[in-house]
Amino acid sequence: MNLGVVIGKIISTKKDPKIIGNIIKVVELIDPDGKPTGEFEIAADTVGSKKGDYVITVSSSSARMTKLTENKPLDTAIVAIVDIITENGVVKYKNEV
C-alpha cells in the first residue's frame, strides 16, 4: 500500500471497454508528513476521492480485488480516503471535511 495525495484526473475518450466507467486519478506519493516522494501513480478511484484528498493506493493483483475493478486491466487503485494520520499519539494530518 502507498500513501498519496490526489493531484488530478485523467480523461480518456478511447480506452479498453473493460475500464469504461472507471474514474482514473493522478496520485502523487507522499510520506506520513505529507512531503512528496517524487513518485506518481495513475490509479482507478474506487472511493470517490477528490483533488487534495490523502488516499491509500494498492497495486498489482490487490488493485483488481475491489467491486469496481474486479477482473479489469488495472494495476493501481485508490481504496481509501485518509481521515487522520497519527505518529506516537501526535496528529500529523487530519482531513478537514
Percent of the chain residues past pLDDT 70, beyond the cut: 99
pTM score, two decimals? Answer: 0.92
What is the average pLDDT across 83-97? 91
Cβ pair 1, 58 in contact under 8 A:
yes
Q: Rg of the chain over CA atoms, in angstroms?
A: 14
What DSSP line would sit under 78-89, residue for residue? Answer: EEEE--EEEETT
C-alpha cell at 20: 469504461
Count of residues making up the chain: 97
- How confident is the model over 2-20, as pLDDT tens digits? 999 999 999 999 999 999 9
Q: Tell me what pLDDT residue 31 has.
A: 94
Going along the chain from its start, the domains and CATH numbers come out as 2-94 (2.40.50.220)
Cβ pair 93, 34 in contact under 8 A:
yes
CB-neighbour burial class of residue 85 (10 A; exposed 0-12, middle 13-18, buried 19+): middle
- How confident is the model over 36-59, as pLDDT tens digits? 999 999 999 999 999 999 999 999
Q: How confident is the model at residue 96 (pLDDT cuts 50, 70, 90)?
A: confident
